[in-house]
Amino acid sequence: MFELIKAPHPMTRTQALPLTLRLVAASAAFATTALVATAESSETPTNPPDQVVRLSQFEVTTTQGHGYVSTNSVNGFKTNDSLMDIPQVDLVVTRDLIDNLGYVNTIDVLQYFGLAAGNNGESLRLRGIALGYAYTDDMPTNQNYADNIWVDSYEVIKGPAEALYLNAPLAGVVIKNSKKPLPYRQGVLTASIDSNGLYRFTADFTGPIGKVGDASVGYRLIGAYQDGKLYFYNYKDRREVVFPEFSVTYHNTTLRAFYNLQRITNAHGYELLTPYGQVYTGAGRRDANTPANDYIKTNQFQLVLEASQKISDSWENRVLAMDWTSRIYEPQVLVQNGYDWGTQTEYFNRRLVNQFYKYWTVLDDTTGHYEIGPESWKVRNVDTFGYGYSSWTNELFNWVTAPFGDTAAGRALLPGQPAGTLAVPMTSHAAIDAVHVPTANEYSPPSNFGTKAYTEITGIYWQHSADVIPNWLTLVAGYTWENISTSSVANVSSLPFSATVVTASQWLHRVGAVVHVTKAISLYALDSTSFTPAGSGNILETGQVAPNQIGSGTELGAKWLFLGGRISGEFAWFKLKNSNVPVVAGTLPNGLTYVVPLAGTVEEGVDGDLAVTLLPGWQIIGNFYAGHDRDQTDKPVSITYDNSWSVFNRYGFPKTSALKGLAIGGGVTRVGGRWLATTGILNAAALLPKSGLLKVKTGTETQVFVDYEFNRHWTVRLNANNLLNETYPLSFPSAIGLDPSVPLNYVLETDYKF
């Protein structure tokens, strides 16, 4: 099953695997040998695979085998509190649900929880507005493309959370909680292939290695390899992932370290949006406007170290450190200058991008609980405080000096055609496919090699919650001081570097209350803030840097948890304001423009979620959002959306029935009210709205799956995606840069567990 190639000479199955899985297999063999040699006499694990294993207030070992519903926060707000006690929307997406959905990209999973894609990868939007990228175990990480094989769960925190998470945006935070070594032996091998020819293999081994004195040693080893054909012409999505991890527990101290290596080669489309708001298919549906050899290579290296110390029965400390590096290489042509709707001609530009991201982060969190007051009125208190530091380096080398375009080929420019571009008929796949993507050797160094930016973020926080009226009223108050310093170099070719440095700081707060109407129903209110430095380019008429942009969030909501967690959900009304948005107001005598800070955008709406276990084995989740993001003129903001809804369910037949081992399920999700600026659509003024914004024609994603567990070792699953075979944009970063939906697609997967 896992033999990918047939060699002309004898070869073992391990040798026949791709490099990443050969590394995993070799390491697993070593770990298994060590496990057998050292742990045969060890005690039988007390936690079977179908239980959630909790080591501390900071850590949940796994959500696997826990179903779709989690009643506790995994890491949210630095504690392992009940979701009923948190005055904010906090959703936990378990590994079981991730596996049933069958997606390997973050946005594909989280579309069932009210999120939408900025770009088709890791760029996220929540409550209609930009969220940015997901955090890794509470630490900020800028990942354009990533595989989620190493993720145990997602935690979606809606609304301002910068009081506890460094540089968190106004919309909220998504946290990727990494998989951890388990206290029992487990191995899982999977193989899958879809109806277009994309195949994927994964391996996941974990368990105790043994003991060294009083110290218990555990490991986890994960690998993935993906390659093959995709539906769209010239698309590719090749992935190699290796994730080794070790943990050591000595009395009240736990040390953990993992290394996450991901190599991803893919291509994203530059499909066009018509003046009517529809995905353009004039060159055929399989054409995503991507020429051959137009790709993106992303190499990511992530090292995470964690130390948790239980100080007493009530107090714990955790230190996290991460070194994260990403290199992105793109020799590309793209529709950067738009298209002429009248002549059905598009204008390709070219660029060579070599981008380097470097994140280094350290967090130190302490949490504890205690009671004060007389025996008749014991008030439970929880304190959480800590420190965070993160430094970000972003080097961008963006070259556009390769011989390219009609003038370079000796052809005259068409009327209205930008210089340095290549005019290509939109209606012809052959013409698009024939576009030559310059190689790196064809580029010559420009006068400006590129730019470099360096950011340092420091935060000190404290949060206190108290059950001031036991079992009835909980108050939460938190304050944070955060400092952000940016240093930017506009031209790295000019030595010595000329850097512009801007430093900004701000006090932030998070204040809320939870009223426990009954044990099963809570009402809450929250007021919280975030901030963004105005930046060096935004100067007031006085010559001073413009004030910080202040984000504020007000939220009222309700939570419920009935029948021991079989029915749970949340409903919230929210209002998110972003003030002090700089707007160009004039020109200074020295020729530089100056800005004035205005009350900026306002995002207001309602959202909610529901999780129900109607019958044993039948789980249903649902989510909705309805709102609007408007600027100071009450006009929709580009790249936002006004509504979304989703439903997903799974039913597993009882073990006592004739259909034992069989499970069926599926879901529906839709994002509506998408707004996009018409920038790049040329010669179509009569068809475009005067507002300069298009309302995008959206689609409904529908999927079903069926899996059958033959025995405790073998499971087969079949997924069918986009059952309605609709064409709509998966992502919507611009009107000339869409990723279209894939038609009806089947995925067959086989799992072997041991």
DSSP character string of 700-725: EEEEEEEEEE-SSSEEEEEEEE-TT-
Distance CA 618, CA 411 (A): 65
**Rounded to whole angstroms, what are the CA distances from 740 to 130, 268, 553, 727, 736?**
20, 10, 33, 7, 12
Query: Which of 5, 139, 163 shows the shortest CA–CA distance to 75?
Result: 139
Q: Is the pLDDT of residue 39 over 60?
A: no
Query: So what's the pLDDT on residue 536?
Result: 65
Residue 123, judged by CB atoms within 10 A of its CB (0-12, 13-18, 19+), counts as buried
Distance CA 587, CA 590 (A): 8
Number of Cβ within 10 Å of residue 105's Cβ equals 18
22-34: average pLDDT: 37
Query: Which of 227, 228, 224, 236 shows the shortest CA–CA distance to 260?
Result: 224
Query: So what's the pLDDT on residue 195?
Result: 97
Per-residue tokens: 393: 């380096």
- Residue 121 banded pLDDT, cuts 50, 70, 90: confident
Q: Is the pLDDT of residue 47 over 70?
A: no
- Between 44-48, 137-141, 431-435, 500-504, the lowest mean confidence (pLDDT) is in 44-48
Taking every pair of Cα atoms in the chain, the longest distance, rounded to a whole number of angstroms, is 91
389-393: average pLDDT: 95
Query: So what's the pLDDT on residue 30?
Result: 33
Report strand pairing: 681-682 vs 339-340: parallel
Distance CA 322, CA 306 (A): 9
Residue holding tokens 């008749």? 376
33-42: average pLDDT: 33
Query: So what's the pLDDT on residue 82?
Result: 78
Question: How confident is the model over 188-216, as pLDDT tens digits?
Answer: 999 999 999 999 999 999 999 999 999 99
Q: For 48, phi and psi rounded to 5 degrees?
A: -70, 165
Number of Cβ within 10 Å of residue 313's Cβ equals 9
Query: So what's the pLDDT on residue 481?
Result: 97
Report strand pairing: 602-615 vs 567-579: antiparallel
Question: How confident is the model over 685-738, as pLDDT tens digits?
Answer: 999 999 999 999 999 999 999 999 999 999 999 999 999 999 999 887 889 988
593-609: average pLDDT: 86
- Residue 68 banded pLDDT, cuts 50, 70, 90: confident
Q: Is the pLDDT of residue 139 over 60?
A: yes
* The amino acid at 615: L
Q: Is the pLDDT of residue 490 over 90?
A: no
Question: How confident is the model over 232-286, as pLDDT tens digits?
Answer: 999 999 999 999 999 999 999 999 999 999 999 998 778 999 999 999 999 999 9
What lies within 8 Å, CB to CB, of 220 at 6+ separation is 179, 180, 181, 182, 204, 205, 206, 243, 244, 245, 258
Query: So what's the pLDDT on residue 14?
Result: 34
Query: So what's the pLDDT on residue 535?
Result: 73
* The amino acid at 127: R
Distance CA 465, CA 513 (A): 9
Distance CA 576, CA 159 (A): 8
- Between 151-165, 299-313, 316-330, 524-538, the lowest mean confidence (pLDDT) is in 524-538
Please state, for a pLDDT cut of 70, what percent of the chain lies above it: 89
- Residue 595 banded pLDDT, cuts 50, 70, 90: confident
Q: Are 619 and 650 in contact (CB under 8 A)?
A: yes
Q: For 162, phi and psi rounded to 5 degrees?
A: -70, -15
The structure's pTM equals 0.87
Distance CA 697, CA 678 (A): 14
292-315: average pLDDT: 94
Residue 285, judged by CB atoms within 10 A of its CB (0-12, 13-18, 19+), counts as middle
Q: For 753, phi and psi rounded to 5 degrees?
A: -115, 140
Q: Is the pLDDT of residue 45 over 60?
A: no
Q: Is the pLDDT of residue 34 over 50?
A: no
Q: Is the pLDDT of residue 8 over 70?
A: no
As a whole number, the mean pLDDT across the chain is: 86
More confident residue, 79 or 141: 141
Distance CA 570, CA 110 (A): 17
Query: So what's the pLDDT on residue 532?
Result: 87
Query: So what's the pLDDT on residue 72?
Result: 61
Query: So what's the pLDDT on residue 35?
Result: 31
Q: Is the pLDDT of residue 651 over 80?
A: yes
